């Protein structure tokens, strides 16, 4: 007879944290969100630690090299999506690892024979007011000049005016030679009162820009996640089909940590992939596995050699696995059970294997609940897809800005490897949807806001670190009526933008 669980599986929305005693030391600025990413033995330090407990999902619509750099600046980690050719994924990893903090590849370039109209169109698309003029119009072309908003006046110039007629020519530019340090470049910016400093090689080819605004930005990012060589850290996804070719390419490209991307991780396919990594690289290559939702799944992947274990089936906002296949578990219940199994494993073996909660986060306070329930870090898809730095298009629909967001199990992504159960190389049916999410602006602003909420809640609980939160948190189950009580109710909400009222 089938096994039946006595308790229903629950979501984060069904729980609240109960405040604890807060001393005068419980202030937001004193809270540490450092957390381990990969397993370690008792008394030792983990090989990889993040400064914030957030990673981006292994999805086409979320994690490319641009978002990876932005998230690493905040102290988190991206896992570059695997549903692409090996070569392009490896190149994205290289782009992150070779990105020099403060040194920016030019992505707004134009030829001298183009026009002011072309400059304005490029500015409209990119939002950049500094445009490099190169002989071939590419980011690595031979630089011949520079155009900024100070070089033209729309009221006095025709849109047909050639760029060569109003650009600041190379002879009038102050440039730095390739090999200059960031500190030296910043000194040149300030000494010459520049907003942008082109960095060129011996053949006068443009290699980077250093911007004054990025100097200020670097100072604002004390949590940057850097490796020993001061490069940004980045993860990458892999699958259980072409791992023998993909993993070596990702390791060669410099990926700091890998993760098997699968909708269901309690399988022999995952063990085969982990066995390959251990046989070829030993413990030098770090790789997580998943997804699982119970004790048995965790223990299986722990014994198979996973460096961290990912939790969650069917809880993502674009995931329809539960309604398509009737399989999964409420995310809160899954995290609670797997965290207990993780702690038991640690007591038995002395090896701590971090767990990652993947899915089910709707509100910012769910982040704090997931951490309190035992998650070491959180994987987010919808959350990051809303930002400027995600790889999807920003559109206006019905007067509102949105960004595209689609699941790896959708027909758009066609990531059949993620749902592979052997057999034909195809996606038999959809387990994800193609959708839109409200556009939310810059990653930095949103991440800082969300994590300030997490830190504030931790202070309410009287703790200053994630391990303390997991040890000291008091969590209560709430009723449906209590959930209603927790929001605005029995008042008329004023909608200032539309000058209308909504009753709640």
| Active site residue ranges | 319, 418
The 3-state secondary structure of 57-95 reads CCCCCCCCHHHHHHHHHHCCEEEECCCCCHHHHHHHHHH
Q: Are strands 77-80 and 54-56 parallel, antiparallel or unpaired?
A: parallel
Q: Is the peptide bond before 439 cis (omega within 30 degrees of 0)?
A: no
Cα separation of 140 and 207, whole Å?
6
The token pair that represents 442 in the structure block = 């810059």
Residue pair 36/49 in contact by the 8 Å Cβ criterion: yes
The DSSP symbol for 100 reads: P
User: Buried b vs exposed e over 263-274: b needs ≥16 C-beta within 10 Å?
Assistant: bbbbbebbbebb
* Secondary structure class of 291 (helix, strand, coil): strand
Q: Extract the tokens encoding 18.
A: 């109960």
Angle at which helices 65-74 and 443-460 pack, to 10 degrees?
40
Distance CA 52, CA 86 (A): 29
**Pick from 10, 14, 1: which is nearest to 479 by CA?**
14
């Amino acid at each position: 007879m089938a096994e039946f669980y006595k308790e229903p599986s629950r979501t984060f929305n069904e729980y609240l944290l109960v405040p604890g005693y807060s001393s005068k030391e419980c202030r937001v600025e004193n809270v540490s969100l450092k957390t381990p990413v990969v397993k370690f033995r008792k008394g030792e330090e983990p090989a990889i630690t993040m400064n914030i407990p957030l990673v981006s999902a292994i999805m086409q619509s979320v994690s490319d090299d641009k978002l990876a750099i932005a998230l690493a600046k905040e102290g988190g980690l991206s896992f570059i999506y695997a549903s692409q050719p090996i070569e392009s994924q490896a190149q994205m990893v290289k782009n992150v690892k070779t990105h020099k903090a403060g040194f920016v590849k030019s992505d707004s370039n134009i030829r001298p024979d183009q026009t002011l109209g072309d400059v304005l169109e490029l500015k409209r698309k990119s939002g950049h007011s500094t445009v490099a003029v190169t002989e071939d119009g590419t980011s690595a072309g031979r630089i011949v000049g520079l155009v900024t908003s100070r070089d033209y006046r729309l009221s006095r110039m025709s849109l047909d005016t050639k760029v060569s007629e109003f650009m600041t020519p190379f002879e009038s530019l102050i440039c730095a030679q390739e090999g200059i340090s960031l500190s030296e470049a910043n000194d040149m910016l300030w000494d010459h009162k520049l907003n942008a400093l082109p960095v060129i090689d011996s053949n006068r080819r443009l290699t980077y820009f250093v911007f004054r605004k990025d100097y200020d930005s670097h100072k604002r990012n004390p949590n940057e996640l850097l490796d020993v060589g001061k490069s940004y850290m980045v993860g990458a996804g892999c699958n259980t089909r072409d791992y023998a070719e993909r993993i070596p390419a990702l390791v060669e490209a410099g990926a700091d940590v890998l993760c098997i991307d699968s909708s269901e991780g309690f399988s022999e396919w995952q063990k085969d992939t982990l066995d390959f990594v251990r046989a070829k690289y030993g413990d030098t290559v770090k790789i997580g596995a998943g997804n699982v939702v119970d004790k048995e799944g965790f223990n299986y992947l722990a014994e198979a050699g996973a460096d961290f274990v990912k939790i969650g089936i069917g809880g993502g906002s674009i995931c329809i696995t539960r309604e398509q296949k009737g399989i999964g578990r409420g995310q809160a219940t899954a995290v609670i059970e797997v965290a207990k199994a993780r702690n038991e494993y640690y007591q038995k073996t002395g090896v701590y294997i971090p767990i990652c909660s993947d899915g089910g986060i709707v509100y910012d306070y769910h982040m704090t609940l997931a951490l309190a329930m035992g998650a070491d870090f959180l994987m987010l898809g919808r959350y990051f897809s809303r930002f400027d730095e995600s790889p999807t298009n920003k559109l206006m629909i019905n007067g509102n800005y949105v960004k595209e967001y689609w699941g790896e199990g959708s027909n758009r992504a066609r990531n059949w490897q993620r749902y592979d159960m052997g057999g034909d190389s195809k996606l038999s049916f959809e387990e994800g949807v193609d959708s839109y999410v409200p556009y939310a602006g810059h990653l930095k602003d949103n991440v800082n806001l969300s994590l300030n909420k997490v830190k504030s809640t931790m202070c309410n609980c009287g703790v200053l670190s994630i391990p303390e939160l997991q040890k000291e948190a008091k969590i209560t189950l709430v009723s449906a009526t209590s959930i209603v009580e927790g929001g605005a109710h029995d008042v008329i909400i004023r909608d200032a933008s539309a000058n209308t009222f909504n009753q709640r």
